[in-house]
């Protein structure tokens, strides 16, 4: 049996995140000692590692919930898991396209800036007036 701290270290997950996953039902509630400390078995470790890896691949919590349901019910078709992964791939590809457009515009801004006067600075000019951007892009910030 593993403590929450040990589970956190083994998976590279913060303790608060593990508690949150329990709270939202991705992780089952852990067993408790008489003193109230959480205890996890190997199945809990495997489940958290699954969640952690899925998060690293960019899957949303809802998608992870769907994938866990499929993993918990192995008699179901793999087609649904494939569909979820394809949806994630399309989202990643769209994000890459947006990032490439941003790279193009930022490169153009930097290249066109002569580094002399702030009043003639291409970077500041483009940031002041979005119409001066030559590339279509969306806000991808956080």
Q: Model pTM?
A: 0.75
pLDDT number for residue 80: 92
pLDDT number for residue 42: 94
Say whether 124 sits in a helix, a strand or coil: helix
Q: Both tokens of residue 136?
A: 């279509």
Mean pLDDT of 69-92: 93
Say whether 14 sits in a helix, a strand or coil: coil
* pLDDT exceeds cutoff 90 at 127: no
pLDDT number for residue 22: 95
* pLDDT exceeds cutoff 60 at 106: yes
Share of the chain above pLDDT 70, in %: 86
List all residues 6 or more positions away from 27 whose beta carbon is below 8 Å from its beta carbon. Answer: 18, 21, 44, 47, 48, 51
Mean pLDDT of 60-86: 93
Mean pLDDT of 136-140: 60
pLDDT number for residue 142: 47
Q: What gap in Å lies between CA 115 and CA 7, rounded to an integer?
A: 52
Residue 17 φ/ψ region, left for φ over 0, alpha for ψ in the -120 to 50 degree band, beta for the rest: alpha
Mean pLDDT of 20-42: 91
What pLDDT band is residue 110 in, cutting at 50, 70 and 90? confident
Reported as type and span, the H/E element at residue 51 is helix 42-56
pLDDT number for residue 122: 73
Strands 31-32 and 38-39: antiparallel
Q: Which residue has the tokens 């930022």?
A: 106
């Amino acid at each position: 049996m593993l403590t929450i701290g040990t589970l956190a270290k083994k998976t590279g997950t913060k303790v608060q995140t593990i508690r949150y996953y329990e709270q939202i039902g991705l992780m089952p509630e852990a067993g408790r000692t008489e003193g109230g400390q959480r205890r996890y078995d190997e199945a809990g470790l495997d489940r958290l590692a699954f969640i952690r890896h899925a998060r690293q691949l960019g899957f949303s919590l809802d998608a992870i919930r769907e994938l866990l349901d499929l993993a918990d019910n192995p008699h179901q078709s793999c087609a649904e898991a494939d569909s979820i992964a394809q949806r994630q791939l399309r989202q990643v590809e769209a994000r890459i396209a947006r990032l490439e457009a941003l790279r193009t515009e930022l490169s153009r801004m930097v290249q066109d800036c002569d580094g002399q006067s702030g009043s003639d600075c291409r970077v500041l000019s483009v940031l002041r007036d979005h119409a001066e951007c030559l590339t279509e892009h969306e806000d991808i910030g956080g």
